[in-house]
């Protein structure tokens, strides 16, 4: 009986400790979520509030004196629509090229019968830690005649080494060698095996690669800043940068405002509105690929 009481007492203590840990963990994670989500929420409410109230700190929880003037001026600017079009082209075309090359390279490096696989992998890993630098890369892009073309936004970053490693790990763990041997017995070539068998079985990792590359392409502005001089080729993020950092509001946005005070007044809500306009497509896309994203990362994770 005494032993049973001791066990019950131990369970009570353990249960109390678990509750304390769960409570602390919940509070800690809640604070982290608030720290991550509140800046985005603030940008949303600031984009539809009176900029004077935003500036003096009156807006922090709910929007005040709601106005959509900033969004009206944003969507009336042809530069924004041109930037959207360019960014969509760079994202769709770049993601297609990057995912295709990454999958083909990762599958080849996952094959046990690839001669010199370790050597090739070592060369690829070397580029992950050491690169030629900005100036040599710029000179290569220039010599290839890609300056001021869409290819300067796609070719130099066609394969990300980390994504290649994740995809290779997925193939090694999920595509058994016996499947290839069975395919060869039935007269299946390497290309046909990759297209007809490997790709249909690789939907989770394809979704992960699409998400990673699409987000990177959508948010990319530095490559455009370096390689593009023609404003008609600027992506949305570079236009956003010019508005936020250099305060370059277009003539169309400010055409009906005469004095500087009015331009600054409207300029503040335009800055917040442009951030929402630029981030909205990714926020809409992410929930649809989230389950594949989590599954693919878990399966394709590098194992120790």
At 134-164, the pLDDT tens digits run 888 899 999 999 999 999 999 988 888 888 9
pLDDT greater than 70 at residue 297: no
Written as six digits, the tokens of 146 are 């890609």
- Buried b / exposed e over 49-79, threshold 16 CB at 10 Å, is bbbeebeeeebeeebbeebeebbebbeebeb
Neighbours of 136 (CB within 10 A): 10
The confidence band for 50, taking pLDDT boundaries of 50, 70 and 90, is confident
Task: List Cα–Cα distances, 265 to 107, 227, 258, in angstroms.
Answer: 55, 34, 12
pLDDT one-digit tens code per residue, 72-110: 888 888 888 898 899 999 999 999 999 999 999 999 998
What mean pLDDT is predicted for residues 257-263? 58
Instruction: Note the pLDDT of residue 304.
Output: 44
- pTM listed for this prediction: 0.78
Task: List Cα–Cα distances, 71 to 86, 181, 219, in angstroms.
Answer: 20, 59, 20
CA–CA distance, 302 with 111 (Å, rounded to integer): 16
Helix, strand, or coil (residue 221) = coil
Instruction: Note the pLDDT of residue 87.
Output: 92
What mean pLDDT is predicted for residues 49-55? 80
Classify the C-alpha dihedral 48-53-55-57 as positive or negative. Answer: negative
Instruction: Note the pLDDT of residue 114.
Output: 83
Is 85 or 207 the better-scoring residue by pLDDT?
Answer: 85
C-beta of residue 277 within 8 angstroms of C-beta of residue 80 = yes
């Amino acid at each position: 009986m005494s032993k049973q009481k001791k066990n019950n007492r131990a369970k009570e203590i353990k249960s109390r400790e678990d509750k304390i840990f769960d409570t602390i963990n919940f509070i800690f994670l809640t604070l982290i979520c608030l720290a991550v989500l509140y800046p985005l929420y603030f940008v949303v409410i600031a984009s539809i509030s009176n900029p004077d109230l935003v500036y003096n700190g009156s807006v922090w929880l709910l929007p005040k004196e709601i106005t959509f003037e900033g969004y009206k001026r944003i969507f009336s600017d042809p530069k924004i629509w041109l930037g959207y079009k360019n960014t969509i082209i760079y994202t769709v075309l770049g993601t297609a090229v990057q995912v295709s090359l990454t999958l083909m390279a990762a599958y080849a490096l996952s094959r046990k019968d690839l001669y010199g696989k370790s050597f090739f992998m070592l060369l690829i890993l070397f580029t992950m830690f050491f690169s030629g630098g900005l100036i040599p890369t710029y000179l290569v892009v220039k010599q290839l005649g890609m300056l001021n073309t869409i290819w300067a936004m796609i070719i130099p970053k066609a394969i990300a080494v980390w994504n290649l490693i994740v995809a290779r790990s997925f193939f090694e763990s999920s595509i058994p060698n016996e499947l290839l041997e069975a395919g060869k017995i039935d007269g299946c070539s390497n290309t046909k095996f990759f297209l007809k068998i490997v790709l249909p079985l690789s939907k989770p990792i394809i979704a992960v690669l699409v998400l990673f590359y699409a987000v990177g392409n959508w948010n990319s502005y530095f490559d455009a800043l370096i390689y593009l001089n023609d404003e008609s080729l600027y992506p949305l993020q570079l236009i956003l940068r010019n508005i936020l950092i250099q305060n370059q509001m277009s003539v169309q946005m400010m055409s009906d405002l005469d004095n500087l005070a009015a331009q600054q007044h409207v300029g503040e809500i335009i800055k917040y509105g442009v951030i929402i306009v630029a981030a909205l497509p990714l926020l809409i896309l992410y929930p649809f690929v989230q389950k594949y994203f989590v599954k693919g990362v878990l399966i394709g994770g590098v194992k120790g």
